Amino acid sequence: MIRSELLRLFAAVAVAATTSCAPNSLPSQDGGDNDAAVEDGSSAQDVNRRETSRTTNPVLLAVRPDHGPFTGGNTVVLRGSNFREGMTVRFGESMVQPRNNRFVDGNRVEVGVPGGMPGTVDVVIEGEGFRTRLPMAYTYDSFYVDPATGSIAGGTRITLRGQGTNWTMGSTIQIDGAPCNNTTFVSPNELACSVPAHAQGSVPVTVTTGAESVTVSDAFTYYEASDPNSGGFGGGTIRGSINVAVLNYLTGDAVPGAFVYVGENPRVVPPQSGLTNMRGQLTLSAPDLRGPVTITATARCFATSQFISIDGRDATIFLIPWLGMVPGVDCGMGMPPDGPPRPPVFAATIEGELVWAGPREFGPNQWSNIPFPRSNERRIAYVMTTTGNIFSSNPDPGMGGVVLENLMTAGARGYPYRIVARPTALAVYAIAGLERTDTMPPRFTPYVMGVARSVLASPRATVSNINIDMNIPLDHEMSIELRDLPAQDMGRPNRFSVANWIDLGGEGVIPRPDVDLERSSSADPFRLVAQPAFSGTLSDARMIVRAEYGTGTGFDAPSSTVLLGGITSPDETVVVRNWVGIPRILEPGDGGMLDMTRRVRIEQGGADPDFFWSVISQSGSSCNEGFYLGDVVWWQHHFPGTARTFGLPDLSMVPMLSDMPRGIYQLSVCGIRVQGFDFNNFNYRWLNRFYWTAYSANAVRIAR
C-alpha cells in the first residue's frame, strides 16, 4: 500500500509504537480444540459447520486470500462464526501483532499477516477457554513482486525477491504466460525484469529454473487508470478530459470540496476547474484539452499539490494535511486526535551462542581468529539482526547483544547472547574484533563474523538455539572510486561518504557502519576494508554501496547521492558515476523574497534527473529528509527533469482558500532518478527513497 510506503518516508509523522520485550508466547488454552482435521473423511468446512451448530466458540472456516509473501505485512480476512474481540491469531507458530488484529464482526476479522518461512501453515485462533485451528489454511509464497502493480501499457520494472529460491542466470520469468522482458539476475534470491503489456487485472507470475517452475497467483496487478492503491496518473493520454480523485495521504479518505484546476491560473472557469464531490472526485474537461498540462489540487488545511507537464487522463492525488497550527486559519482539527490507546506491538527475542572452532568439540573455545588483546584492548562481539532495507532500522537489541570473551560466562559450546528483534523472517549476525578501551567512543576493529540464516522470529516469542559459527574472516577489501562528480555551488558540496550493506535478499541487509568512510577529498579510492568473502553461508549475498557528496559533517543539502546494488564480489573495484546534477535555486535566492511574478527558477548543475520534487514548508520539512511533526507544508511540485521553473499562484482568490502568509519558508528541490520511470504514469511510490537509484537535493530559505 502506498500509504504505508509514504508513512515510512515521512516517519517523523508517526507516533512511535510501544514495544514489549516479553519473550514468552501466550499460553495455549485448549478449552475445546475445534480442529478441522478429522478421520471420517469430512471436509474442514463440513466439520466447522457442525461445530458452528453446537458451540458458541469461534469457528474458523477460511482465510482470504489464502497466500501471501513470506515477509508478511499483507492483510487477510478470517471468515467464520462466533468471532469476538480480543482473540489471538497465529499463523503457524507466529502470532499476529495485537495492533494488526481488527475485529469486524462475528464472522470476519482482518489481520496483518506475520512473517513466515515459505510453505503452508495452520491458522489458529484462541482466547480464554477456546482454541480452534484450520489446518493448511495459509501459504507463504517463496517470492514476492515489488512493486506489485503497474500500468496496462507495460514497462514497469519489477524485482522478484525470494527466500531459498536458488535462481540462476538461466532463470526465466513469465507474467501470465508471457515473457517478462530484460530479465536481470541479481542473486539466487533476486531477479528483475520489465513487465509486458496486459489487460487490467491481477495475474500470476512464474519463475522457471531448469526443470522447476514456481508460480505465485495474483502476484502482479495491472491497472488501467491511476493506481488505486498508490495514486498518481495513468489511463493514457489526455483527450478532452481528466478524471481526478483527491485523497488525504495520512488516512486515505476522500477530500470533498477540494479545488482542482488545469493550467497556471487558478481563476480558470469550470469545467477546467471545480470542486470534488463527497467521494473526492471530479472531471475536468474542454474540447481542446490535450496533454501535457499542469494540474493543481488543493483544499483548506491541506498542502497544495501541483503536477507540471503531465499527460495522464486519470489522476489520484494525495494531499498532505497541515500538521501544525496556522495563524488566522481555523482547521478545526490540528493534529489528528490520538483516540483510545492502540494495542501494543510485540518484539521477538532471539538467543543462542557464538561458537568458535577449536580443540574443544563439546565446549567453548578461545577466539583464536582474533589477535590477542593488549592492555588497552578487549575481544568483543556485537550480535544484531538484518534490517528490512538500507533505510530501515531495528529495535535496540539490548545489552544481551554485546558478548565478551569470558570463559567464566561461556555456555555449553560457545558464548551466550540474547537480543530483542523485529518479528519477521531474517538473519542473525555477529561481528567480532578488538575494541580500544581507552578512547571515547571506544574504537572497534572487526576481524571475523558469523551469520545464521533463515531465522523466523515471531511476536512475543523466544527463538532459542540460534547458534552462530564465527568462521567468516573479514579479510577482503572493496575499492570505491568516485568520478564525474556534479558541479559545486560556492564551494558546496564539500564532503564525501561511502557506506555499504550486505544484501541477503528477502532476509534483509547487514549494515556495516563499522567500516563506512567519510572524508573531504575524493582524489583517492575509498577502501572499505574488513569485508567477508561471498562464499559458504554468504554465497548468495550481494553488496549495496551508497556514495554521498554532501555539505558539512551532516551531509546536508546541497548534496547528491548514488546507490549501486547487485555487486557480486567484495573484491571488486566499483566506479561510481551517474550522479544527478545538483539543482541551483536561482530565484528567489537564499534569503531572497518571492517577487511579484511568484515564480521559482532553477538550473541544473549536471545530469538531469527523471523528475523533480519540490517542497515548501514553514519549519524545515524537505523532500530528501521527510516531513516533521507540527510542520505546515504549503506546496508540493512534481515536474519532469527537463523543466526549470514553476509557480506559486495566489490561491486566496478562491473561496475558502488562503495565500501563504508573510513569513520565512524553506524551499527544497530534489532531483530523483527511478528505474523504469515514466512521468505520465507517475506513481506516489516513487516518492519513497527505497526506489531511488540516485538523487540530489538543495534548499534555501525564502521570504514571502
Could you confirm whether domain 476-576 is CATH 2.60.40?
A: yes
CATH code: domain 153-223 is 2.60.40.10
pLDDT band for position 25 (50/70/90)? very low
Residue 690's nearest CA partner among 157, 8, 1 is 8
Confidence of residue 55 (pLDDT cuts 50, 70, 90): low
CB-neighbour burial class of residue 487 (10 A; exposed 0-12, middle 13-18, buried 19+): middle
Q: Which has the minimum average pLDDT: 224-228, 236-240, 244-248, 369-373?
A: 224-228
Q: Which of 188, 191, 182, 185 is nearest to 159 (CA)?
A: 191
Q: Quick one: pLDDT at residue 489?
A: 84
Do the Cβ atoms of 457 and 348 come closer than 8 Å? yes
326 burial (CB, 10 Å; 0-12 / 13-18 / 19+) is middle
246-255, 330-339, 679-688, range with the lowest pLDDT: 330-339
3-state secondary structure of 71: coil
Least confident of 42-46, 412-416, 501-505: 42-46
pLDDT at 640 over 90: yes
- Mean pLDDT check: name the lowest of 69-83, 195-209, 218-232, 548-562: 218-232
- Torsion of the alpha carbons at 652, 657, 663 and 666, rounded to the nearest 10: -110
Q: Rounded to whole angstroms, what are the CA distances from 537 to 189, 449, 450, 541? A: 14, 11, 9, 9
For the chain, report the end-to-end CA distance as a whole number of angstroms: 37
Q: Determine the pLDDT at residue 628.
A: 73
Phi/psi region, residue 591 (left: phi>0; alpha: psi -120 to 50; beta: rest), is left
pLDDT of residue 325: 76
- Bridge partners for 326 per DSSP: 329
Q: Is the pLDDT of residue 49 over 90?
A: no
**Assigned C-alpha cell, 385:** 539482526
pLDDT of residue 322: 87
Helix (H) or strand (E) segment spanning residue 617: strand 611-617
Q: What is the pLDDT of residue 453?
A: 96
What does the alpha-carbon distance between residue 248 and residue 318 come to, in Å, rounded to a whole number? 6
pLDDT at 344: 83
* Angstrom distance (rounded) from CA 546 to CA 518: 12
Q: Which residues of 63-82 are buried (b: 16+ CB within 10 A; e: fewer)?
A: beeebbbbbbbeebebbbbb
Range 33-54 average pLDDT: 45
Whether the per-residue pLDDT at 13 is higher than 50: the answer is no
Handedness of CA 95, 100, 103, 108 (dihedral sign): negative
Separation of alpha carbons 238 and 225, rounded Å: 12
Question: Could you tell me the three cell numbers for 531?
Answer: 569485508
At 340, the pLDDT band (50, 70, 90 cuts) reads low
pLDDT on residue 287: 87
Task: Quickly state the pLDDT bin for 46 (edges 50, 70, 90).
Answer: low
H or E element, residue 44: helix 44-54
Task: List pLDDT tens digits, range 257-271.
Answer: 999 999 999 999 999
pLDDT of residue 229: 82
Give CATH for domain 31-141: 2.60.40.10
Cα torsion angle, 521, 553, 602, 261, sign: positive
Within the chain, which residue ranges are assigned CATH 2.60.40.10? Answer: 31-141, 153-223
Phi first, then psi: give them for residue 680, nearest 5 degrees. -70, -15
More confident residue, 249 or 337: 249
Quick one: pLDDT at residue 146? 93
Cell numbers placing 446: 572487526
Q: How many C-beta neighbours within 10 Å does residue 57 have?
A: 20
Q: Could you give the angle at the alpha carbon of 545 between the alpha carbons of 543 and 551, nearest 5°?
A: 165
Gap between the Cα atoms of 457 and 9, Å rounded = 25
C-alpha cell at 660: 501563504
Per-residue confidence band for 347, with pLDDT thresholds at 50, 70 and 90: very high
Q: Which helix (H) or strand (E) element contains residue 50?
A: helix 44-54
CA quadruple 302, 342, 508, 90: dihedral positive or negative? negative
The half-sphere exposure of 126 on its side-chain side, counting CA atoms within 13 A, is 21
Q: How far is CA 588 from CA 43, 584, 666, in A?
A: 72, 11, 11
Compute the mean pLDDT over every residue in the chain, rounded to the nearest whole number: 89
Percent of the chain scoring above 90 in pLDDT: 77
Q: From its phi and psi, is residue 548 left (phi > 0), alpha (psi between -120 and 50) or beta?
A: beta
The 8-class DSSP code of residue 335 comes to S
Q: Say whether pLDDT at 359 is over 90.
A: yes
Largest CA distance in the chain: 86
Query: How confident is the model at residue 250, as a pLDDT?
Result: 87
Nearest by Cα to 225 from 313, 143, 145: 313
In the block, which residue shows the cell 527466500? 163
Q: Indicate the pTM of the whole model.
A: 0.86
Q: Report the distance separating Cα 36 and Cα 54, nearest Å.
A: 15
Flag whether pLDDT at 407 surpasses 90.
no
DSSP secondary structure string for all residues of 469-534: E--EE--EEEEEEE-SPPPPBTTB--EEEEEEEEE-GGG-EEE-TTT-EEES--SSPEEEEEEPPS
The mean pLDDT value for 422-443 works out to 94
The C-alpha angle with vertex 331 and arms to 326 and 335, in degrees rounded to 5, equals 80
State the Cα–Cα distance between residues 473 and 613, nearest whole angstrom: 44
| 551 contact partners, CB below 8 Å, separation of at least 6 | 492, 493, 494, 495, 557, 558, 559
Measuring CA to CA, how many Å separate 419 from each of 382, 403, 457? 10, 11, 11
> Any idea of the CA torsion for 148, 149, 155, 156, to the nearest 10 degrees?
-50
Nearest to 399 by CA among 417, 385, 426, 386: 417
Question: What CATH number matches the domain at 345-473, 3.40.50, 2.170.240, 1.10.1660, 2.60.40?
Answer: 2.60.40
pLDDT, position 151: 87
Tens of pLDDT, residue by residue over 671-703, are 999 998 999 999 999 999 999 999 999 999 999
